[in-house]
A and B are shown apart, each in its own frame.
Chain A
Amino acid sequence: MIDSVLQDLRYALRTLRRTPVFTLIAVLTLATAIGANTVIFSVLNGVVLRPLQYDASDRLFGIWERSEGGDYRLGSYPTFRDWRAQNDVFDALAFIRGSSSLMPGNDGARRVGTAFVSEEFFDVLRGPPLIGRLFSPEESQPGSPRVAVLTYALWHEAFGGDRSAIGSTIRLNDGTYTVVGVLPDWFRFPSWADVYVPLSTILPSDPILAQRGFHADSRIVAKLKPAVSTERAQAALSAIQTRLAAAYPTDNRGWTQVEFVSLYEQELQFGAVRPILILLSAAVATVLLLACANVANMSLVRAATRSRELAMRAALGAGRGRVARLLFTESAVLVLAGGVIGLLLAFWAIGLLRAAAPGGLPRVNEIAIDARMLGFTALICLLVTVAVGVAPAVRPPTADLSVPLKAGSPGAGASGIWLRLRSALVALEVALALVLLIGTGLLVRSLWALSHVDPGFDPKGVITFGVFPPPRYDAAERAVDLYQRVASAIASLPGAGEVALSNHVPLTGAYLPRPIEVPGRSPDPQGDPPVLFRTISVEYFDVMRIPVRKGRAFTATDVALASRMAIINETLAHRFFPGQNPIGKFVTLFKSAQARKDFGERFSVEIIGVVGDVRHTGLEDAPAPEVYIPYTVNPWGYMNVVVRTRGDPQAVLGAIPRAVAAVDRDIPVTGPQRPGPLTQAVSGQLARQRITVTVLSGFAGGALLLAALGIFGVIAYIVTLRTREFGVRAALGATPRDIVRLVIRQTTGVVVVGLVVGFGAALAVTRLMTRLLYDVPATDPLTFASLTVFLAVVALLASYLPARRATRVDPMIALRNE
């Protein structure tokens, strides 16, 4: 038995070597499809399917405040304390306050995301440190020595992964911290965290932690008690929320609910990657199906052209099982080769992916080809072997193996069943390709629509970067002075035009929603939309090309004198002053620069102008209400510089670090807000869609190619089978056009069936994509119609080429007896 299997194997290898073109095409088709599947499913496995690696990760939840109107907001520290004190449903509840810190190093200062965590944090997110230890209970008490736990990434960046980092010190702003531990590479929550410090370190000094109405830069995470359901926990917290709404109506009225989001969901939601990954997985599985259909088709052709050889084997005593096993062995060898090459391709591609992870893809570090993925690939190979091997291996029960020997026709042993099977496979390929094409087409249309959204400002030629002052500029006046000096230094660079300052820049992900009060109008904490609090310099609207619709912009005097004036955008005017002229009216704002002692202080400003709307939070988001005040009124702890360049922005970009260092060399010009063109921020908004479209286009292109090859293969097969008939027809007077028409007519039915099925399937499938589409309906008639026609044309061309070959059949073939 083993001998005969080895013999089959040897014969299969020899046969495949004798047909190198078939072997190469089949192996490469399978390798690409298996490799692509392994990559996409590795991403799906690492990012979506694999549970988080924290202990009891199924009991971990992020908790948000929810209003009766269904809005969400982050919880404040006072609210967290009430939840912690009054609940009986959690094993532990932790608060995280986020902040950006300066960390000086030998190669200059770097900005690091600092997570100030309450003492329960590592009880909620429990996982052993990679080296060192976590915080001790004493270290979480106010007045304790300052300690820090590093993420794996920061450990590598700042210490080169040296274990001696434990016990050494780092500086964060004006404080020195002893490193006590390093976390494993999968541990990074929230995603912006680089270093963890006990919250007690800032508890006495950070006024924000006393503000019940501050709902930014925080996270609340909890670990449910084992026997407690989320419903019960939600009810318990909602009861607390109801009490808080009654006790603190100014901040909490209407916010009587909570929202539990499993930490797993939260990680994915922030990246919004799940629907995309599921879409890509479906697409890549489709490509695999197409590849299988194609190789099965090719194998069928091959088996048909070998019918005489197979009949000879049967005549010499090979049973049907033995012949089937030989053909199956050939398929298995093909798939095994494809699988091994596919796996190598996948290893290579995943390495690339991890090195250049697309923005917004969470858990990148957890993407790997592990035992599970090896098993997955092996399973794919097995299924593919069955899919491509069964058809040629199983002979039709009515086939008479003696027929090919008698008739001498290469296809004489082929049965109509197999032609029908091949036609069905092609119809399936056409249908699948159409679904993929239409899905991709919709995303392309969506991307096009999104890339044509007017952001409300002109990013072309604008450079932006953040200025994060060292602690010696903590005083507001010193910060203002520093920002002015930096602005002047940049303005003096050759090629730099106007320079403006702003706390936040649109589409860079930074904004601060704050309350606003209009005299004579009762605030509605539940219904009023959060207003983006913006501090700017005089030049801001000019630099950004944001039009002033009513009133006027700030003057140099307004800014120099820190005049209590405000400019609002059209959305704010519409929401808070419907049908009124807001110019000259007063509103109450709240000081919002974090870490300043006046945080939350009320102040009144007069509205002097209305400017155009800007899509600040995202191109897909409707413009939010915004209020602009002179940056001198509420000097921010950091500032963004916005430069409209003349000529080549790159020349200015290169000169910025030196210009900033000339003002103060301790100001970092690295990190996420390093100098870069604003157009990058705009295109960054499209990155996720663009990557999805690119990958899907690759799959759709592959699907189109495979479908075209499938049609080509079937027609070529038909031509092979009917060579003699075409010769006879030519001898009886058929013109080449008659023959082409005859052949193409055979494909038309198959293609039409495929198109109809694919059209229907696309109608059903694309509805699931609605969340991923912008300004294009999931059943967009133009996309559906144009791509159906396109595929029909491709199918026609694919069948025309082999049909032409049929016209070259020598009619003499009909006269030859052999």
Chain B
Amino acid sequence: MTRGWGLGVGAWGMNAGTSGEVPTSRSKSPSPEAPTPRPFISVCNLEKSFPQADGRLYVLRRIALDIAQGEFVTIMGPSGAGKSTLLSVLGMLEGDWTGEYRLLEHEVHKLKPKDRVALGKRYVGFVFQQYHLIDDLTVAENLAIPLSYRDVKASEREAAVADTLDRFGIVAKKNLYPSQLSGGQQQLVGVARAIIHRPALLLADEPTGNLHSTQGKEIMELFRELNAAGTTIVQVTHSEENAKYGNRVVQLKDGWIVT
């Protein structure tokens, strides 16, 4: 993988126009005098469990977590701690949980499943450990998927894909299939796909888990740039190195937040 993924973050700032409600300026540490801004994400008493023969198996227990607009939060913990589950709840992929979850002014816990999905489509982008590019689609077609699911017109879609290919420096790869790319290149496309619809919240589950250290570092640099441009990021990782790219770390163990 070559260098040169640098993004023109000024031009690639979080899409205020998408939501209309999201402030465009970052306010990482609001001053005590200023009125306390509403957190971007606020989770309270969140629980997730599965029925078992001898009771219930809790995956998440009484989770309380606020994430401010523009934060870069890292969730860590041993395997089975509930990290990915928490990520999926934040990303509206999970519906079967209890507690309260607010995203900006939206009370997610009160929304119907269909509305939750719609909210997720509006605000969230995902980056997966295994990239999960669609094998039968080219790089450009993979990038277009999220836009097609958001009813973006074909002409606008093409423009956005072209723009993204350019910004990520992968124009030359646009007609290649995932199997023709290296792991790092695939994850680069995965990140590009996750942000092409300009989500306010980027969720990444072990984004460098399948990459060697150099590639991983470059992906993390990319995250840093996106975050600097205004995108709120929540990542799950086992890597202390990667955690350093974030503002704070949330430790999970057996479903509980321990720090």
CB distance from B190 to the nearest CB of A (A): 10
A731 and B91 contact, CB distance less than 8 A: yes
Q: Which residues of A contact B88 (CB under 8 A)?
A: 811-812, 815
Most B Cβ at <10 Å: residue of A724, A725, A731, A735: A731
Indicate if the CB atoms of A735 and B117 lie closer than 8 Å.
yes
Q: Is the CB of B84 within 8 A of A815?
A: yes
- Name B126's closest neighbour in chain A (CB-CB): A731
Q: Using a CB-CB cutoff of 8 Å, which residues 792-818 of chain A contact chain B? A: 810-812, 814-817
Query: Taking the complex as formed, is A734 at the interface, i.e. its CB lies under 8 A from any CB of chain B?
Result: yes
Contact with B along A725-760 (1 / 0, CB 8 A): 100111111110010000000000000000000000
Contacts of B93 in A (CB 8 A): 730-731, 810-812, 815
Chain B residues closer than 8 Å to A812, beta-carbon distance: 84-85, 88, 93-94
Q: Does B28 contact A (CB under 8 A)?
A: no
Taking the nearest CB of chain B, how far is it from the CB of A484, in angstroms? 87
A-B pairs with CB below 8 Å: how many? 54
Q: Are A733 and B120 in contact (CB under 8 A)?
A: yes
- Give a binary string over B53-94; 1 marks a CB under 8 Å from any A CB, 0 the rest: 000000000000000000000000000000011011001011
Cα separation A725 to B142 with both chains bound (whole Å): 12
Interchain CA distance A730-B124 in the complex, whole Å: 12
Interface contact B150-A728, CB-CB below 8 Å: no
Say yes or no: is B157 at the interface (Cβ < 8 Å to chain A): no
Beta-carbon contact of B146 and A814 below 8 Å: no
B204 to chain A, nearest CB (A): 10
CB neighbours (8 Å) of A738 from chain B are 149
Q: Which chain B positions have C-beta within 8 A of A811?
A: 88, 93
Interface string of B183-215 (1 = CB under 8 A from A): 000000000010001000000011001000000
Give the chain B neighbours of A814 by CB distance below 8 A. 126, 128, 132
User: In angstroms, how far is the closest chain B Cβ from the Cβ of A407?
Assistant: 9
- Whether A732 lies near B84 (C-beta < 8 A) is no
Inside 8 A of B49's CB, which chain A residues have their CB?
A: none
Taking a contact as CB atoms under 8 Å apart, the answer to whether A816 and B117 are in contact is: no
**Bound CA span A815–B93, Å:** 10
Interface contact B209-A817, CB-CB below 8 Å: yes
Q: Which residue of A lies closest to B194 (CB)?
A: A732
Residue of A nearest to B149 (CB): A733
Across the two chains, which residue of chain B brings its CB closest to A412? B135
* A815 and B128 in contact, given A732-B146, A734-B149 (Cβ under 8 angstroms): yes
B85, B117, B120, B145: which contacts A729 (Cβ < 8 A)?
A: B145
Tell me the complex Cα distance, A735–B135, Å. 20
What residues on A are CB-neighbors of B135 within 8 Å? 725
With the chains together, A108 CA to B30 CA distance in Å?
116
A contacts with B: majority SS: helix
**Smallest Cβ-Cβ distance to B145: which chain A residue:** A732
Q: Which residues of A contact B24 (CB under 8 A)?
A: none
CA distance A438 to B135 in the complex (A): 40
B130 an interface residue at 8 Å Cβ cutoff? yes
A731 to B88, CA, bound (A): 9
Find chain B residues with CB under 8 A from A729 CB.
134, 145, 149
Query: Contacts A728-B134, A811-B93, A815-B84; is A733 near B205 (CB within 8 Å)?
Result: no
Query: Chain B residues near A816 (CB, 8 Å)?
Result: 84
- CA–CA, A730 and B116, complex, Å: 13
Closest chain-B Cβ to A318's Cβ sits at a distance in Å of 27
Q: Quick check: B117 and A728 within 8 Å, CB to CB? A: no
* Residue numbers in B under 8 Å from A728 (CB-CB): 128, 132, 134
Residues of chain A within 8 A of B205, CB atoms compared: 815
Contacts of A724 in B (CB 8 A): 132
Q: Is the CB of B253 closer than 8 A to any CB of chain A?
A: no
Bound Cα distance from A123 to B9, whole angstroms: 108
- Of the candidates B120, B121, B130, the one whose C-beta lies within 8 Å of that of A817 is B130
The docked-state distance in angstroms from the alpha carbon of A54 to that of B214 is: 91
Partner of B126, one of A725, A732, A735, A810: A732
Supposing A812-B88, A814-B132 touch, asked if A733 and B146 sit within 8 A by C-beta, the answer is yes
Chain B residues positioned under 8 Å from A725 (CB to CB): 132, 134-135
B98 at the interface (CB under 8 A from A): no
Q: Which residues of chain A are within 8 angstroms of B138 by Cβ–Cβ distance? A: none
A811–B116 alpha-carbon span in the complex (Å): 14
Tell yes or no: B42 within 8 A of A by CB.
Answer: no
How distant is A721 from chain B, measured CB to nearest CB, in Å?
10
Q: Is B251's beta carbon under 8 Å from chain A?
A: no
Residues in A whose Cβ lies below 8 Å from that of B129: 817
Choose among A729, A733, A738 the residue with the greatest number of B CB atoms under 10 Å from its CB. A733
Which residues of chain B in 79-131 are interfacial with respect to chain A, using CB atoms and an 8 Å cutoff?
Answer: 84-85, 87-88, 91, 93-94, 117, 120-121, 126, 128-130
What's the least CB distance linking A119 to chain B, in Å? 83
- Chain A minimum-CB-distance residue to B148: A738
Minimum CB–CB distance for A726 against chain B, Å: 10
A817-B206 contact given A733-B121, A811-B88, A812-B88, CB 8 Å threshold: yes
CA distance A724 to B129 in the complex (A): 13
Most chain B Cβ neighbours within 10 Å, of A730, A735, A814? A814
* Bound-complex Cα distance A724 to B94 (A): 16
User: How far is B134's CA from A236's CA once the two chains are assembled, in angstroms?
Assistant: 81
14 CB contacts below 8 A, A to B, read A729-B134, A729-B149, A731-B91, A731-B126, A731-B128, A733-B150, A733-B197, A735-B117, A738-B149, A815-B84, A815-B88, A815-B128, A815-B205, A817-B129
Known contacts A812-B88, A814-B128; 5 further A-B pairs (Cβ under 8 A)? A730-B93, A731-B128, A732-B145, A811-B93, A817-B206
